[in-house]
Amino acid sequence: MMVQYQALKREAGDCLLFYRMGDFFELFFDDAKTAAAVLDIALTSRGEHDGQPIPMCGVPVHAAENYLARLIKAGCRVAIAEQVETPEEAKKRGGSKALVARDIVRFVTAGTLTEEALLEPRRANVLAAVCEVRGTCGVAMCDISTGRMDLEECAAGELPAVLARIGATEVVAPEEWAARPGEAIPRPHGDFASDEGEARLKAVHGVATLDGFGSFTRAMLAAAGGLIAYLDHAGRGKLPLLLPPVAQDGTARLAMDAATRASLEVVEAQGGGRAGSLLAAVDRCVTGAGARQLAEDLAAPLTDRAVILDRLALVHWFHADPLLRADLRDVLRHLPDIGRALGRVVAGRGSPRDLGQLRDGLSEARRIRDHLEAKPDRPAMLEELLPKLGGHGALTDLLSQALVPSPPTERGQGGFIAEGYDAALDELRQVSGNARRAIAVLEAKYRDETGIAALKIRHNGVLGYFIEVPAKHADRLMAPDSGFTHRQTMAGAVRFNSLHLHEEASRIAEAGGHALAAEDAHFEELVGQVCAAREGIAATAAALARIDVAAGLAERAAEGGWCRPEIVEQACLEIEGGRHPVVEAALSRTGERFVANDCTLSPDDRLWLIGGPNMGGKSTFLRQNALIVLLAQAGAYVPAARARIGLVDRLFSRVGASDNLARGRSTFMVEMVETAAILAQATERSFVILDEVGRGTSTYDGLALAWAVVEAIHERNKCRCLFATHYHELVRLAETCDALSLHHVRAREWKGELVLLHELAEGPADRSYGLAVARLAGVPKEVVARAKSVLDRLEKGRAQTGGLAAGLGDLPLFAAAAEAEVEQCDELRERLQGLDVDALTPREALDLLYELKREAFT
């Protein structure tokens, strides 16, 4: 056995090998150690190898999916080695000691999952293949759970942004190049030949030319070849559902690099997970397919104004009719995920339940079409979608006739073909049913004949049918002329057989076996019918998802008072009462109100320099405007009172910073790399938000860099930009930059406390509130007092000599404590000055005295 295992393990490579042993998948050696640690199951041993015990662990076959899900989530890949013959066949082949033949039937990896239990319903599972052809990168991507396949070409420098957009769970690349995209799985270079890719696509879809699918570059075809070759390897020659490829034009989407996506937390929050992301704040879809489509829309907003307007018109149509929207969403909520059910069926992993889901989903889709067609003034996009919801009448009728109302998840036990569909099958079931009734009659007869009331006829998988009596009555059946044959003695019972029981059992087994074979044949027939209609079914699934997205966006707009944005070609951005959707949602849960702000950018006023204190709302303001642009170009309503948005070709966000130690980059290096990308790529149609450029280095360097960056954006890039900064010196740029205007977030100090108003106002900030924010954060008073003394000397030195550090040399280091006491006395004096003593009640006066005492000694 170990020889067979080792051979299969060499074939499995770096995958964990699930080696089928009866009702268990067993793992050995290092695989067992890894799996036991990840799954938290017992690590035992079995036999010896080179004089050492062989580590072993195992999982039950019936529960394998749950364990596979945990292994895949932990980053493992698994090879499934099944028994490809029965023990009886092995004995016929090689005698009683023959080893049952096994073979790897499938590789289970993160990007090749189709099982319902292994997939997240609201998240796409994208597999991507990348390669380079003559300096250009080809990207092939597919979600085999639904069959969708897209091909794209991009410049080598844009590949990270493309991979960030599609969010692939697994990436494959040529072995000599796999390290470049990150953690790609290396595959043979020959798999990525463009002519082989073209041939594979033709073979998959049974066509002589790809012209009917679109125009594909050599880089696209090379990537497609690598993708299909990997799927062929993972499925051991059986390919999953692959729909005709679609060539994607990279310029049709709003470009965002990986840093921008992370900064804006589009589909995933920076801490990981969906909660706190834009997607979580917007998603009101009631189907998994709709949620997946919405995530794709937000990850890849459009730049085609006509398509954006079509999406907005569909959202508006649902928004204008709340009753229609509510009824539709109620129907959609109960729809099965027919896209993924189709994927399992075509991949050969389908069940009778999947066929039932297709039947129910396609039937409901037809009813939805009929209902929506009865409504007037339908938008153009809906007119395109409605025909895709029908056209499956013959198939749904067939599935309705053939299947029981609630088909089981396993096909091996039968019971899923409806009565009346096949007369011969009904007859076999009747024979089997009659035989079971005959066994019940036989049991009653044997009880009467033997006088043993406890006699029972039982069944198990090893013995089949048998007669069982308590041990104390066994002697009556042991007599040679009793008509019973002894089979097995148990602790408290004895088991027998009889001629009549054997005959009835044979009838049941024969009829049951023929019935199962008949049902299995019908299952394959139905699968064949579904596979023949797979492209139409996939189109129906996509249409339902698009309708769910539009209805969900309309629901979100009605829920939050969002507006329909006006999309124009001019380079403008006019937002009245804009809000941050994620922050507003978080505040609403605590009962707080979000402070809305306006933003108006135009060719003559395209760069806003924004000052004000930390925590005043600068970063929120910057992000909310970027998110409003993103939502609008994804075809959604936006959180604002009014929005007029000029199409943006590229969106850049450099807000917040963190280091990247794994790549040897400090916080400031990351900041400069991201800033450099903006200056190199932003066009006049781009929208840029920048926060605190230059803060990661010395004051002089930081100010100089911030100054130069603002000038470059104004003079060279000429894009729409919101630039937040603490460098007050930058306000002088308004004197030389005609398209730059000054703004600030408002704040006030009242009775020694900083009040953040979160409102944007015109003009520069009156002063810095850094010390007030420090006090608000709980920095010790003596430290704040010391900082105030330093600040006073800095400002005096700058006024007198122009040097920021002038006058600091003679400042005593420990003067801060005394100064803190003076400041504390000043604060107390101001507080007492404004106190109306005569208006205090005795109780209030006593409470005030206790409060002053507590503050004085803490």
Query: Which residues on adjacent β-strands are paired with residue 574?
Result: 600, 644
**376 alpha carbon, distance to own chain's centre:** 36
Q: Could you tell me whether strands 246-248 and 16-21 are parallel, antiparallel, or unpaired per DSSP bridges?
A: unpaired
Residue with tokens 């900030």: 765
Token pair listed for 255: 């470009």
AA identity, residue 259: A
How far is Cα 623 from Cα 629, in angstroms, rounded to an integer? 10
**Binding region for ATP:** 612-619
How far is Cα 340 from Cα 835, in angstroms, rounded to an integer? 71
**Binding region:** 612-619
Query: Which residues on adjacent β-strands are paired with residue 133?
Result: 136
CA dihedral 548, 550, 552, 556 (to 10 degrees): 180
3-state helix, strand, coil in the chain (%, to 5): 50, 20, 30
Q: Kindly tell me the sign of the dihedral angle through the C-alpha atoms of 8, 10, 12, 14.
A: positive
AA identity, residue 762: E
How far is Cα 173 from Cα 177, in angstroms, rounded to an integer? 6
Query: What's the first-to-final CA gap in the chain, in angstroms?
Result: 76
Q: Which DSSP helix (H) or strand (E) runs through 148?
A: strand 148-155
Q: What are the strands of the beta sheet with 566-568, ordered from one edge?
A: 566-568, 642-646, 573-578, 597-601
How far is Cα 727 from Cα 729, in angstroms, rounded to an integer? 5
Q: Which DSSP helix (H) or strand (E) runs through 449?
A: helix 423-450
How far is Cα 189 from Cα 562, in angstroms, rounded to an integer? 51
* DSSP 8-state assignment for residue 99: P
User: C-alpha angle 167/170/171, rounded to 5°?
Assistant: 95
How far is Cα 356 from Cα 407, in angstroms, rounded to an integer? 6
- Alpha-carbon distances, residue 367 vs 315, 322, 330, 455, 547 (angstroms): 21, 19, 13, 56, 14
How far is Cα 41 from Cα 24, in angstroms, rounded to an integer? 14
Q: Could you tell me whether strands 24-28 and 16-21 are parallel, antiparallel, or unpaired per DSSP bridges?
A: antiparallel
The SS3 assignment for 366 reads helix
Determine the angle formed by the axes of helices 499-532 and 352-373, rounding to 10 degrees.
40
Number of neighbouring beta carbons within 10 Å of residue 334: 11
User: C-alpha angle 290/295/300, rounded to 5°?
Assistant: 125
Radius of gyration of the chain (CA): 36
Number of neighbouring beta carbons within 10 Å of residue 115: 16
How far is Cα 214 from Cα 212, in angstroms, rounded to an integer? 6
CA atoms within 13 A on the CB side of 271: 3
Q: Which residues of 216-236 are buried (b: 16+ CB within 10 A; e: fewer)?
A: bbbbbbbbbbbbbbbbbebbe
- Alpha-carbon distances, residue 155 vs 138, 159, 252 (angstroms): 9, 7, 15
Q: Let me know if 314 is exposed, middle or buried by CB neighbors in 10 A (0-12, 13-18, 19+).
A: buried
Residue with tokens 């403008």: 572
How far is Cα 508 from Cα 486, in angstroms, rounded to an integer? 22
